[in-house]
């Protein structure tokens, strides 16, 4: 009989700026909770941000905390499957997208492989990550984080965070 793997706390950044980005981010948060091996712990409010190092319409963003029994590469595959289900295409780097899910943290692990880098290499530079992360996990923020994102436009949307739904 196999022993159950302990849960690891992970954080996922969500973003979309094509199609119906509000619906895409909400559906992705719900999909995180329905994915085997994942349990949604909490999600930030939704935010609107101007594209950063990208083009196209404004993004809708959030950060979710999940508890997972998946190994990091399997979690990445699960996130990519959610993206694919939302019609994600990757025509070029930083292209506008129907959905983007980035693994920010996997416990306190450090991973540097051709397919996955954790912590995410640019998480400290992006308002669309730092502001929602500050809402749900301020202990994860580096000191002086506000200075790193000065001048990046972001606003919290006036609607409540998505509710947790259990199947």
12 contact partners, CB below 8 Å, separation of at least 6: 32, 63, 64, 66, 79, 101, 102, 103, 104
Residue 34 catalytic? Answer: no
Q: How far is CA 125 from CA 25, 53, 102, in A?
A: 21, 11, 14
Residue 58 known to be catalytic: no
C-alpha triplet 28, 66, 126: angle, nearest 5° = 70
Catalytic residue among 30, 100, 112, 156: 100
User: Is 88 known to be catalytic?
Assistant: yes
What's the Rg (C-alpha) of the chain?
15
Report the greatest alpha carbon distance in the chain: 55
DSSP helix/strand/coil, 123? helix
Q: Which of 97, 110, 112, 140 is catalytic?
A: 97
Active site residue 100: yes
Kindly name the residue from 42, 102, 108, 140 that is annotated as catalytic: 102
Cα–Cα distance for residue pair 40/63, rounded to 1 Å: 11
Catalytic residue among 88, 124, 126, 156: 88
Question: What are the residue numbers of the active site?
Answer: 88, 97, 100, 102
């Amino acid at each position: 009989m196999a022993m159950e793997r302990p849960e690891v706390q992970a954080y996922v950044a969500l973003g979309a700026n094509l199609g119906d980005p509000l619906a895409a981010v909400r559906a992705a948060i719900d999909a995180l909770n329905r994915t085997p091996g994942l349990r949604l712990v909490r999600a930030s409010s939704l935010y609107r941000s101007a594209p950063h190092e990208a083009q196209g319409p404004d993004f809708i963003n959030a950060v979710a905390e999940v508890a997972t029994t998946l190994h990091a590469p399997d979690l990445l595959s699960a996130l990519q499957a959610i993206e694919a289900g939302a019609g994600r295409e990757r025509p070029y780097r930083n292209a506008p997208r129907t959905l983007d899910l980035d693994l920010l943290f996997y416990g306190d692990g450090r991973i540097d492989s051709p397919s996955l880098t954790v912590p995410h290499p640019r998480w400290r530079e992006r308002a669309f990550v730092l502001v929602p992360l500050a809402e749900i996990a301020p202990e994860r923020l580096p000191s002086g984080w506000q200075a790193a994102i000065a001048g990046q436009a972001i606003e919290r949307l006036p609607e409540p965070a998505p509710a947790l739904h259990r199947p």
